[in-house]
Chain A
Amino acid sequence: MTSDNGTGRTYWRSLDHLEDTPEFREMVEKEFRFQPELAADPISRRSFLHLMGASVALATFSGCVPRRKEAKVVPYGDLPEDLVIGRATYYASSIGLGADVQGILAACHQGRPTKIEGNPTHQESLGKTGVHAQAEILNLYDPFRSQAPRRFKGMAGDKMYHTDTGATLEEFSAWWQSEVLTADAPGAGVGFVYRDDNSPTTRRLRGELARKMPGATWYRHDPANDEQILEGTRIAFGVRGRPIVDYSRPDVIVSVDCDFLGTETGHVRATREFTSRRNARVARQGVNRLYALESQFTVTGSNADHRWPLRQARLRDAVASLAARLGVAGVRDPGMSDARLETLVADLKTAATRGGAVVVCGRRVDADVQALVHAINDRLGANGSIVTVSPCDEFAANNLTTLLSDLEAGRLSTLVTLEANVAYDAPGGLRSKIVSHLGSVGRDKGALKRLVHFGRSFDETAMYSTWHINRAEALESWGDLEGADGRVSLQQPMIDPIFKGLTEFEFLSRLAGGSDEASTLVAMTHKLSTRAWKRAVHDGFVSSPRRTTTARCRVGDCVSQFAASVSNVDGMELVFALCPKVWDGRFADNGWLQELPDPVTKVTWDNPVLMSPATAKTLGTRDSGLVELTVDGRLLKAAVWTVPGMPDGSLTIALGYGRTGSGPVGRDVGFDSYQLRGDNNAWSAPVAVKAVNGFYEIASTQDHGVMMGDDRQIVQEVTSEAYRRDPQTVSTRIKKVNVPKSLLGAENKSLHAENPYDTGYQWGMSIDLTACTGCGTCTIACQAENNISVVGKDQVLIGREMHWIRMDRYFVTDKTEEEYPDTHPELEYGMGEEKAAFSTPDEVRMVHQPVACMHCENAPCEEVCPVAATTHSEEGLNDMAYNRCVGTRYCSNNCPYKVRRYNYFHYSKETPWAEGASWYNDWSAAGYSYEHVPEVKKLAANPHVTVRSRGVMEKCTFCVQRINQARTDSRGEGRRINSENLKTACEQACPASAIVFGDLNDFDSAVSSAHEDALGYKLLDYLNVKPRTVFQARVVNPNPSWKVPS
């Protein structure tokens, strides 16, 4: 055992390695431990926290707490007609992530947004959201984002001599006018690096600025780009754009490394469309069929009926074979001999003549392969119907390679970075060279003299800046966003910029010498009539049709540009993944996202190298072991996490971790995989891997991934075919195990009179496992709605995460028990051994199951609480009286679903930091007083939900605050609550509409029919706890002729 930071927390725990000797562990700790900056550093992490905390407090004292736009403040002496104190007001806006734009409604309490819902009228979201939109609230109230413009003197990048002299925006404008703009040739020697935010107004102002500064050079850098997709469309259709796939139409979908349910552009819409053909309601008619060809185990792969693990380098061959066998003229069949290919071709051909079939390609697939897929879709008749191509409007720019050569040639004296964090997320080879040039700012060497950094936070690039200007967050700014299909959504501020940040286009406008207000700038772009503008602001989008091209797919070009051969088919390959949580690293400071378990690996706060258990064995490493990855001579030491179902020899690592310049939440979390990324933001690379001594703890929320036998009856699956043949198949199966033989046919009589719970409202829930994709949006939505604390990596390691609704994930193979080798994974210590029992050729599937409090009618938790802190309401809710709870934790022990969460520390009072620092250690040592929470963080809390204190048990309440709100509303109108309009936070956010909540006493409600459904079953029914949540068995649609060669 070793203790951590002197806190005495011992760390020999689960998933691993009890046999590690203390000496070994100690050696590991010394060798591989991220230490905070040493005391010699003038701005140590802790003093930084201290200062930041204090400055936040000052900032909030200095005015009233952040307010609405000052010009519009009306005292409530003249109460606005629609405003009721204590009720949220909803405003439409939108949030973008690359070309992924979601319409939102932000719930505001007295001018403070606290929760984000999907905008029901917005075409991309239709009332649903993804995880990032849900987590946006925390981005807004992040006390560690940049709070003021700063001006630096001295040597860039040097913490000792790069000093902040403080400045204002006005001073910046004056400086820009005098130092940069006065040159004879305007803009000569000036370079702009931007990350495209897909805003038409920004694009317009870039153009304006470019006209004003004709000498300036523009560079674009986005580590999460869709470049291959755009190029593929260019080859196939002659226009750069994105294929927009209507997933609700095809019967058969083949995904070629396309995580369209997880990380691809438009995944919220895709999830909604895909699950509209795959849910319990349509299961009787048959569900669609999804094949996934991929290396990384993605969320999409986990929802596939058949998942074909293929190394990234083999995808090209697979697509070429498909094309050839489907009859795309001119494609040479590389001759992959796999029976699965024939099955795939046959199924695609059949489906194409019926409901439709489509092959989709992810952003990691090379452009020429993308083009060939367009040709296949042409062959399948999908183009124009299932797939439409939407051209994108781009601002011409150079790439980072050009930036480097310009820097090397000394052509740039001033560099302006617009949210492009090149010192962090540029590909490893370029990054070090660019950074060395940035280092010449403030030193008498090199051509680069000035660096203007515009960004949300004072990040890695800002360390080299002469000027830093802080950006405003989406919820506090005007703006417009153009979606992948060309339609424009509008943003409006919910709150005045808390730290007086500017939007990117405001900043560009100032650089161009303008001084227009943000709203004016947006309005000028769209040139709408006042009436149409008001309408657009109200709706959150500008009504317009999709932008589509009428160009036909040029199959000949697709085939001729396809490069058949590829090197490195046999060596180890490393695939880079966009993290479904922190994305490319921009959300690293968002604790909700950091702590959200990865949908597939269940890992929080880290990005380990993912590989198959067999690969790990070959390399001589295991879960939490360390490997050295070398790409082109660049080296990264990272921890290993095995994932059954990944192809051997293929490694995946997520981008966006290992940040050194983020706030304390994301700093030094995980491994900086950009270090290994090839120039041009390559998505995969041949890699040399070597296991090295060492151990790195990975905080996974689920240590066990097998369901431990059919008798437990946890996730029930049924094939579409079997369900059609016998709709009662699931309930028959459940009864077989759960009802003792002696009681078969007899009524289970209770000893005492049970409450029938048949009057008034009776709340219940149903969860459709067919629809659920496992994305985790419900978890974040719940966290935002219910003020759930983030606990930090060290607490997750101990097993104290607080999520009220968790996403359980189990691995499944369709082998019988006898077919397994003689292993007993159930008795092993952790996940590693269990996972090793899955051999690579097996088809490993995955099932997801969201689990929250089931509000059992015979709740075992209520019986054992000695102080009656948890009791049953007349409406069937299992209520928690936080004030009454003394914290014996007996309820948690007695909960068969283990959904109760305990405040082991005063989590709600402090922000836990990552890097293994203990929660309680930090608040005391960092100079935080016990009572101190940055004021700005408090603003994020939902005022309708109690913030829990230390020593108190908490759990899902079925969003009782929403029920009560609905009750108030219905009483006022003298009617019953319409349970169709009453949605819990998880239900409201779920893009798959898998969760349904409502009144079981209303026999017409969706939840009532789900409870009656033949697919419905109660988890652990045999305990007779009578849960109020019903799961609907997962209906899968495997192809009977699919055979995995052994």
Chain B
Amino acid sequence: MTPPKTPTHYIIYADDDRDDLDLMRECFEKHAQNVELLTFSNGFNAFTFLNSLSPTDPMPCLIILDINMPMMDGRDVVQRLRLRKNFEKIPIVLFTTSSQPQDKFFARQFSVGFMTKPLNYRQMDMIAESFIEYCSDDVRKEIRKKVEP
């Protein structure tokens, strides 16, 4: 998989749950524009892709990681990315099924966001908007989509 060649923004999302991957695609289609969602089914594949980016490749505007994944979990991906200079400033969010204190502590330690997966439509509608808030001001302006009530 290569980064998008067209001048657009892209977000990385790694999760081993296929239903959550589909859900996220639907969320971003509804609430965001000018942004492509690149999905990976485990942390290892997501990290391998990110690690292969050259200095001239466009960087993701946001990286979303499920915590519990096979091969390489979200925490491991965060620790490896934060060691790399070109990923120091990329916003990363841990997106998890449960609100565990130790995971929240880890997120604070590594300066990454922390969000729990939604349980119903009320919580789900806020998700894409909450993710967009992690992006830089310029990116937010370009990808935020107004949804008709």
A binds B: no
Chain A residues proximal to chain B, CB less than 8 Å: none
Chain B residues proximal to chain A, CB less than 8 Å: none
